[in-house]
Structure 1
Amino acid sequence: MAEHPPYPVGLRLTGRRVVVLGGGQVAQRRLPALIKAGADVHLVSPEATPSVEAMADAGEITWHRRPYAEGDLADAWYALIATSDPDANTAASAEAEAHRVWCVRSDDADRATAWTPATGHSEGVTVAVLTTDARGRDPRHTAAVRDAVVEGLRDGTLVAPHFRTRTAGVALVGGGPGDPDLITVRGRRLLAEADVVIADRLGPRDLLAELPPHVEVIDAAKIPYGRFMAQEAINNALIEHAKRGRSVVRLKGGDPYVFGRGMEELHALTEAGIPCTVVPGISSSISVPGAAGIPVTHRGVAHEFTVVSGHVAPDDERSLVDWPSLAKLTGTLVILMGVDKIGRIAETLVAHGKSPDTPVALVQEGTTSSQRRVDATLATVAETVVAQDVKPPAVIVVGDVVAVGPDGTAA
């Protein structure tokens, strides 16, 4: 065995008998994969860990509450031997050899006929890593190789394009609040596989520099609008590129459905018969305050938080926000897109009962290297924005949580 590497193969165990001897930690780690593979799992062990017992109670495995006995491996396709009894392990291993049952032994890999690889999964791909030199097996190195490959596939740093199964379509990807590390794993992978990326100004721009040279990057703000409204032009661009057989990513800041017009784009794509995937993103409404040290909820301070758009002033007839009701809430108010309207917003909140001393924080370009936090109150926020030259994008937080310090108490 030391001279010949193992031959890798994928076992199809659906509906086939698999015997596991021993109900300890090894079985607890290995059973979920066998169950997921659809195997008819029979556990032989007088005892089991609570997790293994729960699998038996749920009907996922059949538990024979006794020690190993000769004949337990009859008709098995695969066996995992993991008892604490060396004699039972040796006898079971001999039975497996006699009946040509592939057998893994947790106590002595050299006496096994099969080894369990370090495995990981990413979008329909299973990565299995085996050490090929029996004299120098290093489980930690094997697991590290597995982790590196899986992580690369998930975050897009290891690009493996699809050839047979790839289909044209659009992915609406929430890019998060700005820090490129805060995009989801799935979002980053779809970016790496895209032919065209239509990006918003508030999307994580640093990610665009990582794209391969062949990817066409389009600034949504620079799409010619002509006789169309801006959103219509973006919708049309998404549809046109997808109809050309391209994989398109619509990269948006935050989450596509939090003031991101994601549903409008989804409706347009659906009407055009274009397949669309929506990938949620981390909303700036919670992540930016958090990055600035502000919890939007805190025990004893705020039991709820409300997120509103401030792009329309309270006295504008187009406003859909019930500002008088918001003024009566005791929780946290998070305002997006409201820097230029914060004066009128603060006046409205105070006029309807909010204390003028209510703390306010403005977090500009949150989670990026340019992040800065400016504190004020409802009474002073309008003049503070001017004096401190606060510019969009900025998340505004109103409420007592602004004054909560690192020790968990209000300042």
Structure 2
Amino acid sequence: MAEHPAYPVGLRLTGRRVVVLGGGQVAQRRLPALIAAGADIRLVSPEATPSVEAMADAGEIAWDRRPYAEGDLADAWYALIATSDPEANTAASAEAERHRVWCVRSDDADRATAWTPATGHSEGVTVAVLTTNARGRDPRHTAAIRDAVVEGLRDGTLVAPHHRTRTAGVALVGGGPGDPDLITVRGRRLLAEADVVIADRLGPRDLLAELPPHVEVIDAAKIPYGRFMAQEAINNALIEHAKQGKAVVRLKGGDPFVFGRGMEEAQALAEAGIPCTVVPGISSSVSVPGAAGIPVTHRGVAHEFTVVSGHVAPDDERSLVDWASLAKLTGTLVILMGVDKIGRIAETLVAHGKSPDTPVALVQEGTTAAQRRVDATLATVARTVVAQEVKPPAVIVVGEVVHVGPHGTV
């Protein structure tokens, strides 16, 4: 059997009996895929890892808490043999052969009738890599090939064109805090498939340089507004390009729905009948402090954090923030878009009871090569911003968590 290559095939196991012998690490790794395939799974094992036990407790698998016994594979379509008892594995493998049950053995692949490929997934496609024959099996090499193919499909470096008609529409993609490596896998793939990209200034600009030459890149700040407001003009541009049958990506910094006006764009697209996909992004409110060594929560220091926009001053009638209530909270306060208003914000917080000695950290250009951190207190932050020439974009963290970590004392 080892002289011939394995024949690759995809098993449709929905509702069909699958027997897993052994509840250890092998079962823990293989069970999630079998569950996802909709198989009727019976685990036979005296013991199981906590993760496998949790699957049984959740009703995802049935568990017989005993060793293998003759007859366990009689009604199976597929079997995974992974016990620590070589004799039980051999006996179960022989039973599988008699009942014509495809059988995987974790202890001896040469004696198995089936092999588990190294698999990965990318947007509805499963990539499965098998070694040609048992004699040349190298699981690490096989996994490396799998990883290279899947990563290429996900980040767009390996392009597989769609040959069926592609549905035009808009994807609102959160690009993360600035580092191009922090965009989501799905966001990066949609960028690689786009015909048009309308980008914000705070989006990960380095990703734009990787786009193919045919992709039209539009700077949202340079869209002619005319009689329209800026946001309305952007909405119209999204609709116009989508109606031309193009795949459009609206690349935004952070997350589309965290002070990103993403919902306004989604609503405009819905009213125009344009399909819209929302791809969440890593918000700068947690990622930038983290990149600077500041946890927004920490045991014994802060049990909550609040994120607010500082683009409107506390004494401005347009402000929707209850600064008086924020001053009474004991957790962490994260302020976005507040560099030029931080003086008045600090004064307001102190006026409503916050200690002037409350630590403050300003993280400018977080997660990028230009990142820098400036520390102050509520009493000193206004003059520190001026003296240190802190410029937007910067995330401001107020609270004792500023003193946690490499720069702190806790």
Q: TM-score normalised to the size of structure 1?
A: 0.91
Q: Which moved more, 1:68-77 or 1:175-184?
A: 68-77
In 1, Cα distance between the equivalents of 2:36 and 2:24? Answer: 19
Contact 2:296 2:302 in 1 (8 A): yes
Distance 1:327 1:132, change over 3 A: same
Distance 1:393 1:84, change over 3 A: closer
Kindly state the Cα deviation for residue 208 of structure 1 after the two structures are TM-superposed: 0.8
Distance 1:297 1:42, change over 3 A: closer
Distance 1:407 1:391, change over 3 A: closer
Kindly state the Cα deviation for residue 204 of structure 1 after the two structures are TM-superposed: 0.7
Distance 1:384 1:158, change over 3 A: same
> What is the CA deviation profile of residues 138-181 of structure 1, one whole-angstrom value per residue up to 9, with x for unaligned ones?
11211222222223333333333333373211111111111111
Which residue of structure 1 aligns with residue 33 of structure 2?
Answer: 33
- In the comparison of the two structures, how many residue pairs are matched? 410
Kindly state the Cα deviation for residue 66 of structure 1 after the two structures are TM-superposed: 5.1
Kindly state the Cα deviation for residue 113 of structure 1 after the two structures are TM-superposed: 1.9
Distance 1:24 1:370, change over 3 A: closer
In 1, Cα distance between the equivalents of 2:382 and 2:22? Answer: 69
Contact 2:293 2:407 in 1 (8 A): no
> What is the CA deviation profile of residues 71-104 of structure 1, one whole-angstrom value per residue up to 9, with x for unaligned ones?
4433432232334444443344334334433222
Kindly state the Cα deviation for residue 219 of structure 1 after the two structures are TM-superposed: 0.3
Distance 1:74 1:286, change over 3 A: closer
Distance 1:87 1:313, change over 3 A: closer
Kindly state the Cα deviation for residue 230 of structure 1 after the two structures are TM-superposed: 0.3
Kindly state the Cα deviation for residue 5 of structure 1 after the two structures are TM-superposed: 1.3
Which residue of structure 2 aligns with residue 230 of structure 1?
Answer: 230
Kindly state the Cα deviation for residue 56 of structure 1 after the two structures are TM-superposed: 4.2
Distance 1:349 1:163, change over 3 A: same
Kindly state the Cα deviation for residue 53 of structure 1 after the two structures are TM-superposed: 4.6
Contact 2:402 2:408 in 1 (8 A): no
In 2, Cα distance between the equivalents of 1:363 and 1:65? Answer: 54
Contact 2:223 2:233 in 1 (8 A): yes
In 1, Cα distance between the equivalents of 2:334 and 2:168? Answer: 38
Distance 1:70 1:376, change over 3 A: closer
Q: Which moved more, 1:60-69 or 1:386-395?
A: 60-69
In 1, Cα distance between the equivalents of 2:55 and 2:345? Answer: 55
Kindly state the Cα deviation for residue 8 of structure 1 after the two structures are TM-superposed: 0.7
Distance 1:33 1:297, change over 3 A: closer
Distance 1:328 1:154, change over 3 A: same
Q: Which moved more, 1:348-357 or 1:368-377?
A: 348-357
Q: Any stretches of 5+ residues in structure 2 without a counterpart?
A: none
Distance 1:45 1:296, change over 3 A: closer
In 2, Cα distance between the equivalents of 1:184 and 1:67? Answer: 44
Kindly state the Cα deviation for residue 378 of structure 1 after the two structures are TM-superposed: 2.7
Kindly state the Cα deviation for residue 58 of structure 1 after the two structures are TM-superposed: 4.3
> What is the CA deviation profile of residues 213-238 of structure 1, one whole-angstrom value per residue up to 9, with x for unaligned ones?
22111100011111110000000111
SS at match of 1:373: strand
Kindly state the Cα deviation for residue 48 of structure 1 after the two structures are TM-superposed: 4.5
Kindly state the Cα deviation for residue 52 of structure 1 after the two structures are TM-superposed: 4.0
Distance 1:59 1:297, change over 3 A: closer
Kindly state the Cα deviation for residue 334 of structure 1 after the two structures are TM-superposed: 2.0
In 2, Cα distance between the equivalents of 1:68 and 1:396? Answer: 60
Distance 1:216 1:297, change over 3 A: same
> What is the CA deviation profile of residues 316-362 of structure 1, one whole-angstrom value per residue up to 9, with x for unaligned ones?
22122222333333333222112222222233333333333333222
Which residue of structure 2 aligns with residue 324 of structure 1?
Answer: 324
> What is the CA deviation profile of residues 176-208 of structure 1, one whole-angstrom value per residue up to 9, with x for unaligned ones?
111111112221122122111110001110111
SS at match of 2:281: coil
Aligned-pair identity in percent equals: 93
Distance 1:237 1:100, change over 3 A: same
In 2, Cα distance between the equivalents of 1:21 and 1:57? Answer: 18
Kindly state the Cα deviation for residue 384 of structure 1 after the two structures are TM-superposed: 2.4
Which residue of structure 2 aligns with residue 345 of structure 1?
Answer: 345
Q: Which moved more, 1:120-129 or 1:77-86?
A: 77-86
Distance 1:245 1:299, change over 3 A: same
Q: Which moved more, 1:99-108 or 1:53-62?
A: 53-62
Q: TM-score normalised to the size of structure 2?
A: 0.91
Distance 1:67 1:345, change over 3 A: closer
Distance 1:300 1:132, change over 3 A: same
> What is the CA deviation profile of residues 243-298 of structure 1, one whole-angstrom value per residue up to 9, with x for unaligned ones?
11211111111111111101111110111111111111111122222222222233
Q: Which moved more, 1:133-142 or 1:268-277?
A: 133-142
Distance 1:246 1:72, change over 3 A: same
In 2, Cα distance between the equivalents of 1:357 and 1:58? Answer: 49
SS at match of 1:241: helix
Q: Which moved more, 1:192-201 or 1:360-369?
A: 360-369
Distance 1:89 1:399, change over 3 A: closer
Is the aligned partner of 1:189 residue 2:189?
Answer: yes
Kindly state the Cα deviation for residue 13 of structure 1 after the two structures are TM-superposed: 1.6
Kindly state the Cα deviation for residue 134 of structure 1 after the two structures are TM-superposed: 2.1
Q: Which moved more, 1:127-136 or 1:88-97?
A: 88-97
In 1, Cα distance between the equivalents of 2:283 and 2:312? Answer: 20
In 2, Cα distance between the equivalents of 1:55 and 1:403? Answer: 41
Q: Please provide the CA RMSD for this pair.
A: 2.5
In 1, Cα distance between the equivalents of 2:257 and 2:239? Answer: 19
Q: Which moved more, 1:277-286 or 1:64-73?
A: 64-73
SS at match of 1:188: helix
In 1, Cα distance between the equivalents of 2:85 and 2:21? Answer: 10
Distance 1:408 1:346, change over 3 A: closer
